[in-house]
Each structure stands twice: as C-alpha cells, then as structure tokens.
Amino acid sequence: MNENTVSQTPGEPGHRTKTRNVVIPGLIRRLSNDERKFLWSPVPNISVAARIIGNVRETDLLRALETVRCRHPLLCARVILDENHEAFFSSDNVPPVVFRVVKRESFNQWFFEILREHEVPMQPETGPLVRFVLVHSPDVSEIIVFAAHTISDGISLTNLIHEILAVYADPGQEVTIIRPPLIAECLSRKNRFSPGNLVKNVRIHWWNRQWRKKPHYFGQADFNAIHAAYWEKYRYRCVLLDLGREATDALTSWCRGNGVTITPAIAAAFLAAYEDVAGPLAEKDKVIAIPFDLRRLLSVKDNFFCFFVGGFRFRYVYNRNIPFHKNVQELHRLVSSRVSSLGNSSPVMGMDAFDPTLLDAFIGFGGYSLLVPDALTRTEALRTFAGDEKNIAWSLARDMALRTGGMIMTNLGRMDFCETYGNLRLDRIFPVPCASEMIPLILAGTGVSGTLTFTVNFVERKDGTSRITTEDMIRVRNRALEYLGFPELVSDRALE
C-alpha cells in the first residue's frame, strides 16, 4: 500500500462500507470524529495573539512561517471527501500560507483583526486551514495565528507561537516533520475502557442505523451558507482579564495558601460575578466543562500540531452561603477528583462511534441552523435537509442545544517559553477560543513572561437583543477581579 492509499475496514468506528482501498493524493491521514465534529461549523475557529516587543521583520517572519509549515503537515493541509463522504487531510494542491500585514494603530487592534478573520469562512476543501496576521509597528507588534479547531487546540497554537519565534531568532534549525497523531490510537495504547461508554455506544449505533436509512450529505457551499447566515446575525466579542507580574504572583500565592490551583479560582470568581450581574444561571447551565491537554495525560512528548484535547463535565453551583475561598476549595476538589479518575475511563467525548456524516448533520448543519434557520433556504442540500423534519439528526441537534452548560473553562497554564528571542521579547499571549450564544461563559487563559491573561469570549446579536452585552460582560469581569482581590484593576474598557 503506498503512502496515498488508506484501507477502510468495517471494524473502524462509525464505518459504513465494506473493506476497500482508497487513493487520496497527498494523504496525511484520516480525520478522527473528534476533529470532524468541527469541520462544518461556522464558529469553531480558535486563535492566539502574541504581543512582541521589538521590530518584527516581515521577511524573517515569513521565512519562519514557511519553516514551521514544513514541520507540521496540518499547517499546509486541506480536506478531501471521498465518494463515501469519508474525510481525509491532504497536502495535495494546497495554496501557499495565508499571511497579511496591517499597520498597528491601536492597542486593541489585534482583537479587531481576529474579529475580521472570524467573518471570513475557512475553505476546508481548498485549504489551508490556518491564517497568519502581523499587526506591526516598529516597537510593538502582535503575531496572530487563526486556525480551524479541526486541526488545532490551544496548546498547539501557543506552542506554534514559540516555534515561530525560535525559528525567527535562529533560522538555521533543522526541519524534521512531526506527524500529527490520532487521539484514538494513543488512547488504545493505554487500554482505557469505560462501561459507561459501552452503554452510550449502543445508543449511538442505534442512531447511526436510523441515520443511514435516510442520510444527507453536505459540502463547502452548504457550509458557506451557514457561515454567512451566522455572521450576518452575530458579532464576536471578547473581554480581557490581564494580570501583570505582581498580580500574577499575588494570585499564585493566594491559591497556594488555600490549597487550590488557579483554574478553580478564576472559574468560581466568574461564576459568582456572572450571577451578580445577570442573575442565576438556568438549571441546564449549572454545568462546567473543562477541556484539558491529552498530551500530559498520555505522556506524549512530541511537539506535534493537531487537535488533541479531552475533557469532562460536571454539575457545579456557586454557594452563596459560604465564603469565596470555600467555594474555590470545593470546586478544586471536584476538578481534582475528575482528573484523578481519568486513568480509569476514557477522557474523550465518545464521538468515535458516530457515523461521521451524522456528526456533520447534527453538529454543523442542524445545530447552527437552529440559531439561523433562514440559512436552510440557501442551498438545495440544506432545503432538502430542512424538509426531513423527523430525521434523527434534528432530534440530536435539539438535544445538544439543551446540554451546552454554563461555562467552558480552559487554562493552558504557565507556558515554559523563553522571554527573549534574539532582539524580540514575548510580552503576552492572548488565547481567543470560539464563542457561542448558547454558553454564557467561555474563558481561556495562559501565562507567559510572568504574567497571566484570560479572555472571556461570547457573541452579541447585531440587532441588539442579546441576553448579555459587552457592557454587562465588562461588569462581570470587574466583579470577578473584586472576588479575586484586585479591585484596583477594574476598568470600563473591554480589552485594556
């Protein structure tokens, strides 16, 4: 079998066809279902912006980008769908790196460039699935990496920033290709088994059988229709919690003194603050989701670039009858117990058993069309899908909308990066994940150069009917700062 041929067998998760060999030009590997669930969704793009002190030279940065692209196959990939709608990453006929330079005219311009990128759809069938922006001034610049969640996670993007800067400072580095692994293959080496997943898979296989009686298939034109409808209605927004060295040290000391980590401290502060400003969360939203890096759990040492995230969800309600630090300690206990039990169960979300085309239908097209139903009139495939009201995909999409939870909390932790790279200094990294109207609080944080930065990410309706506005979220951020012991840092601005 040559490197462009993949063998498909009935034993593979969610598989629908007989054993066969498929020739894929430029084959990198198949998409896992955990990657495919993001493929046709208009929101799941993630980004980081790195603030750099010093003059970033455009030609040297471009050279560094080309080097890291050679190292990581998914940076120069597109998606090929075969005749059975299986999806594969391919390096065949992918356009050059997408890179633009804009003049830095304001402190917050990095965010508005990310906002612009969100409104330009990725083209999975054309590629590439990552774009780069340099917001440049002679003294301070931001390097932005904007990528489809299908090929990346927060750790991948922040590590990529480090690699770009390292190659920028030392262009003579040897280039070794680092192949992106599949989550399922790495988990199988650990022999993880969960009786709960076995029961779940029985249900999933029943849903698959219902779906295969009358499936629907989608492509780039259908995705572009959903994407356009979504961003006609919504506007991406972000509020910043930025702790300098002194405040970061103070928060770290407070957490140590209370026997907790920073993640539950930030989470508890924002949950309490949100309820102070917006009122109690709905019953369905009293759930926290915590994604985490599977590299650490599985002791994977290679600095590969791909989506490689697990996670867990649990119910948590902030208790107004006890002090803030007691709430943080309880949340820390809950998180720690979940983390300690991961070795005995699968830490991924059970997507492998789904027929991948069913994932396309209920996560990408069904799920988002519930928010923008007029999109269903824009292509023939969407109109046909809309007319099939009893299809299992619609039932799953509606069920998913009721199970989103109230908070997604990601803390990438303190990154062990250099502070200086030649004549450049890394000042901040702003992690900016995807956002959703259905999830009230989506936070992402990371620490570099002795500082700690969290972003609060959400969307507003352009018609002014959002349940929470940017002004409300600024108040939430300010109240969270008060809970954390930093009332002097409150501000009426979102990003300063």
Can you give the CATH number for the domain in which 28 is found?
Answer: 3.30.559.10
Q: What is the chain's percent helix, strand, coil content, to nearest 5?
A: 40, 25, 35
Q: How large is the average pLDDT for residues 54-63?
A: 97
Q: At what angle do helices 380-387 and 220-233 cross, to 10 degrees?
A: 80
Can you give the CATH number for the domain in which 239 is found?
Answer: 3.30.559.30
Q: Are residues 444 and 368 part of one domain?
A: no
- Residues above pLDDT 90, as percent of the chain: 80
Q: What is the residue-averaged pLDDT of the chain?
A: 91
Q: Are residues 363 and 436 part of one domain?
A: no
pLDDT at 383 over 80: yes
Pick the more confident residue, 355 or 13.
355
Closest of 456, 455, 454, 446 to residue 426, by C-alpha: 446
Q: Are residues 226 and 200 part of one domain?
A: yes
Find where tokens 């997507």 sit.
Answer: 351
Q: Supply the pLDDT for residue 6.
A: 62
Find where tokens 């109240």 sit.
Answer: 479
Q: Are residues 226 and 241 part of one domain?
A: no
Find where tokens 């980004």 sit.
Answer: 47
Q: How large is the average pLDDT for residues 171-183?
A: 90
3-state SS assignment for residue 261: coil
Q: Supply the pLDDT for residue 303.
A: 87
- Residues above pLDDT 70, as percent of the chain: 92
pLDDT at 13 over 60: no
Helix (H) or strand (E) holding 479: helix 470-484
Find where tokens 């005219």 sit.
Answer: 105
Q: How large is the average pLDDT for residues 96-110?
A: 95
Structural domain contains residue 290: yes
Q: Are residues 336 and 358 part of one domain?
A: no
Q: pLDDT (tens digit, 9 = 90+) per residue, 405-443?
A: 899 999 999 999 999 999 999 999 999 999 999 999 999
Q: Supply the pLDDT for residue 10.
A: 38
Q: Which residues of 2-36 are buried (b: 16+ CB within 10 A; e: fewer)?
A: eeeebebeeeeebbbeeeeebebebbbbbbbbbbb
Q: Are residues 257 and 270 part of one domain?
A: yes
- DSSP per-residue string spanning 73-128: GGGG-EEEE-TT--EEEE-TTPPPPEEEEEE--STTHHHHHHHHHHTS---TTT--
Q: Are residues 449 and 392 part of one domain?
A: no
Structural domain contains residue 425: no
Domain interval for residue 208: 195-231+350-401
Structural domain contains residue 2: no
The dihedral region occupied by 283, where left means phi > 0, alpha psi between -120 and 50, and beta the remainder, is alpha
pLDDT at 12 over 50: no
Whether the CB-CB separation of 94 and 77 falls below 8 Å is answered with yes
Closest of 347, 325, 90, 309 to residue 194, by C-alpha: 347
Structural domain contains residue 494: no
Q: Supply the pLDDT for residue 295.
A: 87
Q: Are residues 154 and 75 part of one domain?
A: yes
Q: How large is the average pLDDT for residues 264-281?
A: 97
Q: Supply the pLDDT for residue 173.
A: 84
Domain boundary among 169, 204, 219: 169
pLDDT at 9 over 50: no
pTM for this prediction: 0.93
Closest of 287, 231, 198 to residue 460, by C-alpha: 231
pLDDT at 301 over 80: no
**CA 472-315-405 angle, 5° bins:** 45
Q: Lowest-pLDDT range, 18-22, 250-254, 356-360, 483-487? A: 18-22
Reported as a pLDDT band with limits 50, 70 and 90, residue 400 is: confident
Closest of 14, 23, 145 to residue 74, by C-alpha: 145
Structural domain contains residue 79: yes
Q: Are residues 303 and 165 part of one domain?
A: no
Residues 6+ apart with CB under 8 A from 293: 153, 155, 308, 309, 412
Q: Are residues 161 and 95 part of one domain?
A: yes
Structural domain contains residue 274: yes
Whether the CB-CB separation of 255 and 307 falls below 8 Å is answered with no
CA dihedral over 188, 190, 191, 196, signed as positive or negative = negative
pLDDT at 346 over 70: no
Structural domain contains residue 362: yes
Whether the CB-CB separation of 148 and 120 falls below 8 Å is answered with no
Give the C-alpha separation, 293 to 307, whole Å. 10
Max CA pair span of the chain: 65
Q: Are residues 469 and 395 part of one domain?
A: no
Give the C-alpha separation, 311 to 286, whole Å. 17
3-state SS assignment for residue 286: coil
Q: Are residues 442 and 328 part of one domain?
A: yes
Structural domain contains residue 39: yes
Say how many domains are in the chain.
3
Question: Before 128, cis peptide (omega within 30)?
Answer: yes
